[in-house]
Structures are given as structure tokens and as C-alpha cells.
Structure 1
Amino acid sequence: MMAPELTQLGSLGDLIVTALQRGGDRTAFIHGERQTSYRAFGAQLARLIAALDAQGLQKGDTIASLSGNRPEAFLVSCAGYLMGLRVGWINPTASENDQAYLLTDAGVGTLFVDPDLFRERGERLAARTGIQRVWWLAPTDAGTDIDTLCRDATPAPLLPRASADDVAVLVYTGGTTGVPKGVVHTHRVQVAMTLMQLADWDWPQETRYLALTPITHAAGTFILPTLLRGGTVVLTHGFGADKFIDLVERHRITTTFLVPTMLYVLLDHPRLADADLSSLQMVAYGAAPMLPSRLTEGMRRLGPVFMQLYGQSEAPMMITVLRQRDHDPEHHPERLASCGLPVIGNQLRLLDEQGREVPQGEVGEICLRSPLVMAGYLKKPDETAKALRNGWLYTGDLARQDADGYLYIVDRSKDMVISGGFNVYPREVEDVLALHPAVSSAAVVGVPDPKWGEQVRAMVVLKQGQSATAEELMALVREHKGAVSVPKQIRFVAQLPVTTIGKLDKKAVRARFAEEG
């Protein structure tokens, strides 16, 4: 009988060491004018681990970083993964209250802070939560920075200490429907995600990745695959169309990750027409549905570079993928509304409320069996049991599947509108509204109605310099979806409310309509 340890899946630390050994003197990171090679990053990592050992951090302790996108933030996470620490991912754009909740709920004992962006916030959080160890990611008079911390450290060879089933990451759900939940992921999940990314994505031969959204979320999951491919990661904090164009042109970026609202801003920006974005070969998008009409426009202006990702905190990044070859507006235009095919290694079913698989073409809840599935919610056994039942992860997303296996998400189960006894899926109404050439984006929700239970309402953003009437848009929906799906009210706005990571915030949309009555 073979010894079980011989067949164990490795840890994130094993993948990090492999990437650094392969990279040598090639450039791993670019941040502003600063470039860091793989070899230099590995030396920094060894010193940081030695310093944290000297400070008494031990396997199982929890650390977190409050930072913009900079190499030091990833460096701290790498140290945690190799040492067997738990790494709490803090959304830097979240509110102070949400960040304080995370630090307390996760039991964070050591906080690393970017002083250039979050000095005052970091000091307040430390005072609110009682965290004693606060170290800074750059020199500051506020306290000890990591360079000073590492000055007298004696580095040792990089040897991963975690096993596949140790907890690697605590990531918190957005909290738009209540108190954020801490999703617990082991090294096994994170390694599986990385290997599945490498196997089933449309990576360019030369990978030069631009990270704009927070690397504590989706953007950060591109970093390790990029390094394992010997590529370069360009880090910047925050998205702007001008900044995006400048960085792509300067660094000849070949791949990036955008949420749909960012692509819409880019497509509507006057500089796009003259920008040289020809180096882009893979533009991944996700975190929210993309309007098919705007995706078609993006392909016309940027080329066949798009790849869609569908995942969630509980099963990160790799539930399905719509690869570049599946973006085919000529032969399969309907697939532009799809989130793709299940990623290799996943078992996916659409189940009804009784746990039965629905017939092809009917709507059911996406349920998953996969090496990506979370260990559970931190300190929330009832919530864990609700999500993980009958041998499946219940995602809360409702979808149809066609004869070729492509999945079409119609909405979150909580966002479905029931009007007069009929189901209305806001995602489908939003797609129809965006067929109007003047519409840039749209958000559809249900609001309470004494007669119908709920009524459909919509917020619409128009393209600059273009116009449309509510009556025109209502007629468009009636033509494509029937009377029950027609919004009873359409409100034109300058921009839609989004969460701190750029997702459409349906809770805020409902709240605005509730204020109006």
C-alpha cells in the first residue's frame, strides 16, 4: 500500500517556490517605476519569513493586509502561505466598519498596512480591534515597516510548512444582503483553482498581466498563474480609462481582468478610438453579467480577446468559463449571454427546490461538486449547512443550460421578481434594455406592490450624447419578453450604484426606488 503522503496535493507555498525558482532574473513585478525580479522577490520573502519567525508568529495564526495593489501586499500573503498562517483578505475599498468586523471575526493578530493610502485608517482599526502587531508596508514614522523588521533577519531556504488541508485563506462575502460571512478555504482549494486556471484559460504566450481591481479579490487570483508562466505582473491601485490606456500602451499588457462596468467606461471613453491596445490578447471579465450588446461592441473595437469567468467566494473563479472561441456573434450570438461551460474537474447540476435535476432548458439553482468548494463559513454552522447540503454546494444562482452544455445565468435566487405569480428574471430584462443603441447599462429590480406582489422597475444609464424615452424602452421589453416583464417605471441616472469591487449593487437600487415610493 502506497503511503498517503506520497499522493498528497501540495500547498500554495509549493507553487510559490516553484514559480520563484523558475523565474530567475526575469521581472516579476512592476509597480510605478519600480521593477522586482523573481530572484529579488524570493530573497525578500525569505527575509520576511525569518523576521516573522523571530517575532513569534506560528502556524495557524491569522494575518491580514490593508493595502493598495503593491508587491509588498502579495509578499506578505506569500509569507503567510509558506508559514502555514491564515491570510485574511481585506477589501481595501470597504468601509471601516466592515474592515473592523473582518479583523475581529477572523481573529487577526497581525495587521500589515500600506501607509501611503491607509495610514489613518490602519491606526483607527488597530485601536478599535485591539490588534497589537501593526507593521507597515513602506517606511513611515507611524511605526516599524517591513524593511526595518527584516533588517537583522537571517533568511533560510524557502520550505513550505502547510499541508493541503490547512486553512490558507479567509475571504469575506460582500455583505450586501447582511453581515459578511467569512469563507474558509484550504490550500487544497487554492491550489486546485490555480491549476484549473492554467489548464482551462486562454493565456497568451507572453503573459504581462495588469492588476487594477483589488488583489484581495478576483484580480489577485491571476498573480500566481502569471508567475508560474514566467510572466510579469503590473500593479496599480484603482481603475480609470486614461490610466488603463496608458499602462497597456507603456507595458504592452497582454492580459487583464475587468468587471463589466469598467469595460463600459472604457468603451465610452473618447481616447479609445486612437489608443494602441493591440498588445491585449486576453481580457477576462466577470464578477457581474456583461450586457451582450456591449460585449459585441467590445469585440468590434478590441478584437476577439474576451474570456468570461464565473465563480463565487464559496467556489472561487472557476465554476464555468466562456472561452474566446465561444464568443461567436456571427454563428452563436446567443452564447454572448452565457457564462460558459463547466470548468474541467467540476460536477455541475441545476436542481429545483426539492433537490431534483431540472429538465434541459428549465431554470434551476446551480449546484456544484468540485475541489473548489469551501470548507465552510467561519463560525457559522447553520449558514454552512444551508449552503452545503445533499452533497452539493448550493450557489444561490439560477440558470438554464442548453443542449450543448452552455450555462445561462438568469439571476440570483434572491433577485428574481415574482409579479402576479409569474417569475421575471432581471438579468434577461437588462439584456433587452441594452439592445437599444442609446443604452449604456441597466439595472432591473422588483419592489413591493400591493396588487401584484412585486412590480418590475429599472434604472438606465444612457450613452453620452444619446437619448431614449421610457416608453421606447418599455415597448422594447414588451416586444422581446412580454407584458409581465415590462418595467412599470424607468428612471434615467448618470451612473448605477456599484459595490466597492465594482459589482452592480441591487440592494442600493432597491433602496433608491423605495425612497421614491
Structure 2
Amino acid sequence: MDALCIAGLLAHHARYQPEAVAVVFGEQRLSWREFAARCGQLAQAMAQAGVQPGDRVATVLGNCLELLTIYWACADLGAVAVPLSPLLQCSGLQSLLQDAAPKIVFASEATQADVSAAIAALSMPVQLVCVAAVPAAHSYAGFVAGCAAMQQRPHFTPEHPCNIMYTSGTTGQPKGILLTHRVRAHYAALMASIFRLTPESVVLHTGAIVFNGAYVMMMPAFAQGARYVLHGAFDARAFVATVAREKVTHTMLVPSQIAAILDLPDLDPVQLLSLQVVLSLGAPLPLARKQALESLLPGRLHELYGLTEGFITVLDRRDTARKLGSVGVPPPFFELRIVREDGSEAEVGEIGEIAGRGPLLMSGYYGQPELTAQTIRDGWLYSGDIGRIDEEGYLYLVDRKKDMIDSGGVKVYPRDIEEVIATHPDVAEVVVFGVPDEKWGETPFAVVQMKQTFGKVCTPEQLRDWINVRVAARYQRVSAVALVSSFPRNAAGKILKRELRAPYWEGRERAI
């Protein structure tokens, strides 16, 4: 097997540190020998079920030990793991399963009904395996029963596909991003270097591992032979307790999770002192939250801006305090540029589209060569995000191209307004987007989730007035504020902006 294939990582650790703890999930603590045996047994079961290298294996599961096992069994077998969100309903599952054409779909008791209905409508045969608490027909336990661990791995090269990661779908139709073993091997090596991850590290992951951001810490942890602690779902109190108990050194969180931890009324930072790296990713972390986290745990915060398609920048903990508004710089082996509408490169400080290239670049969108060609041009990945770089080369996000508001011909960036609103002491999270306006075409509108534990919650009108005296320009004033108890989210924890915005634009076309 080529060294840049991730198949064989488990066997390596099972041979050289067999009794070291590899994976912790709930009360289960598995050594490298035990976890490698589980994955080998599943790989053999899939092979006996007819799965060959290159075949797709889909999952519709929340965090569980079986999901982690499926990922690594697929890697050893050469099957292509296709993780799908357990929040998807039948119609969404049907379109993705039709696109991916998997041999097997692993579902849970919670998702089995929707998955079964979706499979019934497909044009190809698909085997369903259910991860259930009680073994039954088509159960995971029955599927692997009697199988010995796979002894002989198929041969494949680093360009062999490893994953199809469907985009989160926060702004449009999901697309299948094809990532190879070579890309995953680069995740392992580069992220370990960037985030100082070693064999002695303890990595805690509390978010959903069905989204690509999970691989940022998962891959280096498994390559280094570190301990990987997985929670079934995010809970702020459980997070703090696990960090203290396991002496966690590395974790990654999306901004809403960071907010939930910071808002714990009895948070004791002493319980978090083992943390060396707290990585924020998935969405911009508001400045107010960055400052609060940096004050609570100085010198730990990293922020990653990235696209599953294959480009990242990182704000290192050394630079967080002095470059608080930035999302950092491209790591070694990556390049970044800001591109004007005419395709020329922008000057320092000038706003344009973020484009980048590097060793994590996808093979393309699965089965969509035209869309791939629109996104990757001359080897550069065009992000659809708007940003600028300063004189030292640090990247600052401005907004998504699609989220930009056109108000009377003036470009209004929602993130500028969101940063102002996030400083209000009662605000937990905020989303700003454009809504139709007869005079201006579009006008800013804010949807706000308030903190439950802070003071007296203000009215929407009071909050609107508070915002409008603090924004930098008249065209940034919000027309109204809506208060919500929670935001719609995907499995990654990202807010689904299009679901919030859709009711205001039904039957109308946006200007951009």
C-alpha cells in the first residue's frame, strides 16, 4: 500500500502500541488493538456483502462508535465513505442516495424509516443495515456476526477516492465533494503540524462527525496515535466535564458551541486548563466571542477558515490577540489571492473574491464536471466568499457573495452588522440578511436568538433602535428585528440562512 493511503493506519498502531487507548465513547474505552479489530471485522463483512474498492458506502447516523468504525473500515477496504446528515428527511436522502449510488446504507433507529422510504424510491438495489440498540433483522450486529478481521487489504493508489462529502447546503443545493486518500493523508500530516498534535495529545470532538470539519482533528489524531474522545452530541456542561476528566489537549468547536460554553453561568476556567488548542471553524466567530475566549483561556484560540473543496487559512494562537479580526494566513504549501470581478488580482486592502490552492484540493464535484470547472479554474479554487488581505498577508472575511445585500445600489455586507449586534449583552447569536424593499430593492433584516440567562430581554423594536444608532452607516440600519428561540441548523451546527430568508423571498428573485 502506498504511504499516502490512510489504509493501514490502524494496523500500524495496533502493532506498535496495541494496548494504548485509541477511542473513548461514553463508557467504552477501546485500545488500538480492539478498535483495529472492530474495523477489520466490519471491512470483511462489507467485502462479503459485495462491496469492492471504489464502491460507495453511505451512512445516515449521528455520532456513535459504529459510525467511526465505518469510516475506518471503508478506508481499509477501499470503499468510499459517504456520510449523510441524520437530519435529512426522505426527499433529501433520496436525491443524495440516487446521486451517490451506494452499495450499503447504514441507518439508525431514528433514521431508518426515512432511509427505507428513500431506498424504496431508488433506481438501483441498496442494502440497508440498521445500527440498533436491540439486534434485529438487517441489524449491524447481525451484519458483522461471524466475520473475522480482514487479513488482506486490496491494493489502491493515493488517488483512490476516500470520501464523498456532500456540502452542508446552507446556501444552495448540496454537491458531492470527492476527496482522495492523498488528500486525507495531507489532512493528517498538515493538521498535526499546524495544531501541534502529538501521540501524547487527547482530542475531544463533541460536534457531528458527518461534516468535513471533523476530519481536521480526526485525521491527525489517528495518524499520530493520539487518544480520540467522541461525544454522542454536543452539551456544554458535558464538554467541560470531559475536558477536566480526560485532560483534553485539543478540541474543535463551531461558534454556537463556543457561545454555549462561554454562557455557562458557573463556568470554571480551571476545568479547562489542560486545553492547548481550541479551534473555531465552520463559521466566523464574532469578535466579542473571540475576546471573551481569549480572556478566559489566553493563548489557546486558533481559527480556521476553509472550504471542504480544498483550501484553508489558519489564525494561529500566537497571532490571535494582535490579529483578532483576521482568519489568518494560508499554511505552508497553500497559496491565497483576492480576485476582482474581471479576474485580475486585487491590491492589499481591496475587497474581492477569495481564491486559493493547495494539497487538499478536491478531485471535483462527484458526477458534475461542469460545476467543477466553474469552481476550479487554472488550478485555483474560487470560494464564493468575499475578503481582503492586509499588508502582512492576513485574510479578513467580509461575507459570502450570495449573502451580500444590494440596497439602492450600495453593497451591504451582513457580517459588518452582525458584529455590531453580537456586542449586545443579551444577544446569543444573530443572522442578518436582505429582505425585499420597494424603495431600496433590499434592506437589512436581523434574526436574533437572545440569551436565556441574562437580565431582562428587550423587545424587537428596542433592539432595532439599539442597533441602528451603532452601525457605521445609514445603509446598514436594519428595517426590523425578529426574535427566535433557536435557529435552524444542519448536522454541523451551521445556521441554515436560506431557511430563514426564504419566506421573505417566496415568488421573487434576489438581485444577486
TM-score > 0.5 by shorter chain: yes
Query: Within the alignment, does 1:484 sit opposite 2:475 as a pair?
Result: yes
In structure 2, the residue matched to 1:385 is 373
**CA-CA distance at 1:237 after TM superposition:** 1.8
Query: Within the alignment, does 1:453 sit opposite 2:436 as a pair?
Result: no
1:375 to 355, 363, 380: 363
**CA-CA distance at 1:43 after TM superposition:** 1.9
Moved more, 432-441 or 80-89: 432-441
In structure 2, the residue matched to 1:260 is 255
CA distance in 2 between partners of 1:266 and 1:121 (Å)? 33
Query: Within the alignment, does 1:506 sit opposite 2:497 as a pair?
Result: yes
| Maintained 8 Å contact 1:361/1:401 | yes
Would you tell me which structure has more helix in proportion to its own residues?
A: 1
Query: Within the alignment, does 1:11 sit opposite 2:11 as a pair?
Result: no
Letter in 2 for 1:300: S
In structure 2, the residue matched to 1:344 is 332
How has the CA–CA distance of structure 1 residues 514 and 226 changed in structure 2, closer, same or farther, with 3 Å as cutoff? Answer: same
Query: Within the alignment, does 1:428 sit opposite 2:416 as a pair?
Result: yes
CA distance in 2 between partners of 1:484 and 1:91 (Å)? 38
1:177 to 171, 175, 183: 171
How has the CA–CA distance of structure 1 residues 156 and 274 changed in structure 2, closer, same or farther, with 3 Å as cutoff? Answer: closer
In structure 2, the residue matched to 1:236 is 231
In structure 2, the residue matched to 1:39 is 33
Indicate the percent of aligned positions where both proteins have the same amino acid.
32
1:465 to 455, 468, 488: 455
1:322 to 305, 312, 315: 315
Query: Within the alignment, does 1:25 sit opposite 2:13 as a pair?
Result: no
Alignment: residue pair count: 499
In structure 2, the residue matched to 1:153 is 147
Moved more, 88-97 or 305-314: 88-97
How has the CA–CA distance of structure 1 residues 138 and 250 changed in structure 2, closer, same or farther, with 3 Å as cutoff? Answer: farther
In structure 1, the residue matched to 2:70 is 76
Letter in 2 for 1:201: F
Query: Within the alignment, does 1:133 sit opposite 2:124 as a pair?
Result: no
| Maintained 8 Å contact 2:135/2:142 | no
SS of structure 2 residue aligned to 1:153 = coil
How has the CA–CA distance of structure 1 residues 274 and 372 changed in structure 2, closer, same or farther, with 3 Å as cutoff? Answer: closer
Letter in 2 for 1:319: I
CA distance in 2 between partners of 1:514 and 1:271 (Å)? 42
How has the CA–CA distance of structure 1 residues 488 and 150 changed in structure 2, closer, same or farther, with 3 Å as cutoff? Answer: closer
In structure 2, the residue matched to 1:287 is 282
**CA-CA distance at 1:382 after TM superposition:** 2.1
| Maintained 8 Å contact 2:93/2:115 | no
CA distance in 1 between partners of 2:282 and 2:337 (Å)? 21
In structure 1, the residue matched to 2:202 is 208
| Maintained 8 Å contact 1:64/1:89 | yes
Q: Which sections of structure 1, spanning at least 5 residues, go unmatched?
A: none
Q: Which sections of structure 2, spanning at least 5 residues, go unmatched?
A: none
CA distance in 2 between partners of 1:131 and 1:271 (Å)? 53
**CA-CA distance at 1:54 after TM superposition:** 2.5
Letter in 1 for 2:399: D
Query: Within the alignment, does 1:189 sit opposite 2:180 as a pair?
Result: no
**CA-CA distance at 1:216 after TM superposition:** 1.7
**CA-CA distance at 1:147 after TM superposition:** 4.3
Letter in 1 for 2:397: I
**CA-CA distance at 1:420 after TM superposition:** 2.0
Letter in 1 for 2:60: L
In structure 1, the residue matched to 2:79 is 85
Q: CA RMSD in A?
A: 2.5
| Maintained 8 Å contact 1:19/1:230 | yes
**CA-CA distance at 1:92 after TM superposition:** 2.0
In structure 1, the residue matched to 2:267 is 272
SS of structure 1 residue aligned to 2:272 = coil
How has the CA–CA distance of structure 1 residues 496 and 299 changed in structure 2, closer, same or farther, with 3 Å as cutoff? Answer: same
How has the CA–CA distance of structure 1 residues 451 and 168 changed in structure 2, closer, same or farther, with 3 Å as cutoff? Answer: same
| Maintained 8 Å contact 2:197/2:220 | no
CA distance in 2 between partners of 1:205 and 1:491 (Å)? 48
CA distance in 2 between partners of 1:255 and 1:43 (Å)? 26
**CA-CA distance at 1:273 after TM superposition:** 4.2
How has the CA–CA distance of structure 1 residues 267 and 40 changed in structure 2, closer, same or farther, with 3 Å as cutoff? Answer: same
Q: Deviations over 1:232-287 (max 9, x none)?
A: 11222221222223322333322222110111122222232487222222211111
Moved more, 420-429 or 132-141: 132-141
CA distance in 1 between partners of 2:420 and 2:133 (Å)? 52
What TM-score results when the alignment is normalised by the length of structure 2? 0.90
2:407 to 419, 423, 433: 419
Q: Deviations over 1:363-399 (max 9, x none)?
A: 1111112121111112222211211124311110110
How has the CA–CA distance of structure 1 residues 337 and 498 changed in structure 2, closer, same or farther, with 3 Å as cutoff? Answer: farther
In structure 2, the residue matched to 1:494 is 485
CA distance in 1 between partners of 2:133 and 2:468 (Å)? 57
CA distance in 1 between partners of 2:10 and 2:219 (Å)? 7
Q: Deviations over 1:408-454 (max 9, x none)?
A: 11011101112222211111221122233443332111122232222
CA distance in 2 between partners of 1:51 and 1:40 (Å)? 17
CA distance in 2 between partners of 1:16 and 1:401 (Å)? 41
SS of structure 1 residue aligned to 2:52 = coil
Query: Within the alignment, does 1:364 sit opposite 2:349 as a pair?
Result: no
| Maintained 8 Å contact 1:320/1:341 | yes
Q: Deviations over 1:193-215 (max 9, x none)?
A: 22211121243773222222111
CA distance in 2 between partners of 1:20 and 1:350 (Å)? 45
| Maintained 8 Å contact 1:282/1:305 | yes
SS of structure 2 residue aligned to 1:162 = coil
